[in-house]
């Protein structure tokens, strides 16, 4: 196939569910992981990390899909028996009512 095509894309089940993915990785030039926010399980990442460290996955890359980036900041001060100041950067989601 590589004589006929510049790129060949093979899709497989997530690594860890079946052994087919590792068998295909042995024939790949690069490995691409698609990770979706709120869907992909965090506990699958240590297995991928181990395989990368053991060099069983060629040229690994990750695509983060469906990421909801929210920005927020805050500022405040107070007085009385003391003085306070705060500034932060991070994410905040509205509380459910």
Q: Is residue 21 domain-resident?
A: yes
Q: Is residue 40 domain-resident?
A: yes
Q: Is residue 16 domain-resident?
A: yes
Looking at residues 8-12, what average pLDDT do you find? 85
Domain of residue 27: give its range. 1-68
Domains identified in the chain, total number: 1
The pTM of this model reads 0.55
Q: Is residue 97 domain-resident?
A: no
**Distances from the Cα of 27 to the Cαs of 8, 12, 47, 63, in angstroms?**
11, 13, 20, 21
Q: What is the pLDDT of residues 40-78, one digit of tens each?
A: 888 878 888 888 898 888 888 888 888 887 765 656 555
């Amino acid at each position: 196939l590589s004589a006929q095509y510049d790129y060949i894309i093979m899709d497989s089940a997530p690594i860890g569910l079946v052994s087919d993915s590792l068998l295909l990785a042995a024939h790949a030039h690069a490995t691409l992981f698609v990770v979706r926010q709120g869907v992909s399980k965090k506990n699958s990442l240590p297995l991928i990390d181990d395989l990368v460290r053991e060099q069983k996955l060629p040229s690994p890359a990750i695509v983060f899909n469906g990421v909801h980036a929210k920005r927020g900041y805050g500022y405040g001060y107070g007085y009385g028996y003391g003085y306070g100041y705060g500034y932060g950067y991070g994410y905040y989601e509205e509380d459910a009512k």
